[in-house]
Amino acid sequence: MKLTLKIWRQKNAKAKGRFETYQMDNVSPEMAFLEMLDALNKRLAEEGKEPVAFDHDCREGICGSCGMYINGHPHGPVPAVTTCHLSMRFFSEGETIWIEPWRAKPFPVVKDLIVDRSAFDKIQQAGGFISVNTGSAPEANSILVPKKYSDDAFDSSICIGCGACVAACKNASAMLFVSAKISQFALLPQGRVEAKDRVKAMVTMMDSLGFGNCSNTGACEAECPKEIRITNIARMNREFYKAY
């Protein structure tokens, strides 16, 4: 395939960014999106030009670092996949693809398509822990948990913290991410010990970092690559109200 790439280039956090145009020929439909960017960077390096900076690590849809805005969608136009799992077969011959970083004040651009997502780390550090007895391992079934609760806790825990919810939200809200991290503990007895302190600390940190509030448009749920549900936000709100 022949493609036209419109890629956001920005030297550093203080520099003024801009879109630059690159023509790509002979793109295989079997390529992954990041492999296509690898091919572009190989060509740019051979031409003595600055490669496009973008984040990636596992390329297995687990770490969340590959996130970028593609044609108006976090991670691209295909639901429930991360950028690293996005295949070029979902694009058409001659298509123009717009690629840019997350757009949110708490996620400042580091360079090109890389943003600083350490704000999420600060939120988790504020309250993402549990107190457990570190003695000998207990019998697995010694604390009974209803299957629905354990399933819901697991579904919440698979959030990879990529930031797609923030990028999709018109208010740059992090409530889907924060609520998932709160829910994975709040639904289990092991997480109830610090439940009140946890939700107060994490919500307070989220607000202090400049993330917006939820206005229930549902864009975060629609764009989340792990399909985290906004029912978690309702649970977080209930936990927050109970804490006061």
Q: Which domain CATH number covers 189?
A: 1.10.1060.10
Task: State both tokens at 123.
Answer: 């939120």
123 and 106 co-located in one domain: no
Contacting residues for 113 by C-beta, under 8 A, at least 6 apart:
7, 8, 52, 53, 54, 55, 68, 99, 100, 101
Which regions of the chain are under pLDDT 70? Answer: 128, 132-134, 137-141
231 and 164 co-located in one domain: yes
The predicted pLDDT at position 97 comes to 98
The predicted pLDDT at position 138 comes to 67
Kind of pairing, strands 69-70 and 114-115?
Answer: unpaired
Looking at 78, 110, 142, which one is the last position of a domain? 110
The predicted pLDDT at position 134 comes to 66
The predicted pLDDT at position 170 comes to 95
82 and 126 co-located in one domain: no
What single-letter amino acid sits at 55?
Answer: D
Domain containing residue 128: 118-242
The predicted pLDDT at position 136 comes to 75
Question: Element (H or E) spanning 7, and its range?
Answer: strand 3-9
138 and 72 co-located in one domain: no
Q: Are 240 and 199 in contact (CB under 8 A)?
A: yes
CA atoms of 214 and 104, how far apart (whole Å) = 14
User: DSSP 3-state assignment of 131?
Assistant: coil
168 and 225 co-located in one domain: yes
- Torsion 95-88-117-209 (CA) sign: positive
Q: Is the pTM of this model over 0.85?
A: yes
222 and 170 co-located in one domain: yes
The predicted pLDDT at position 140 comes to 59
Q: Are 69 and 101 in contact (CB under 8 A)?
A: yes
Task: State both tokens at 49.
Answer: 């030009």
122 and 222 co-located in one domain: yes
Q: Give phi and psi for 22, each to the nearest 5.
A: -135, 135
171 and 93 co-located in one domain: no
pLDDT one-digit tens code per residue, 166-188: 999 999 999 999 999 999 999 98
Q: How many domains does the chain have?
A: 2
18 and 90 co-located in one domain: yes
195 and 238 co-located in one domain: yes
51 and 145 co-located in one domain: no
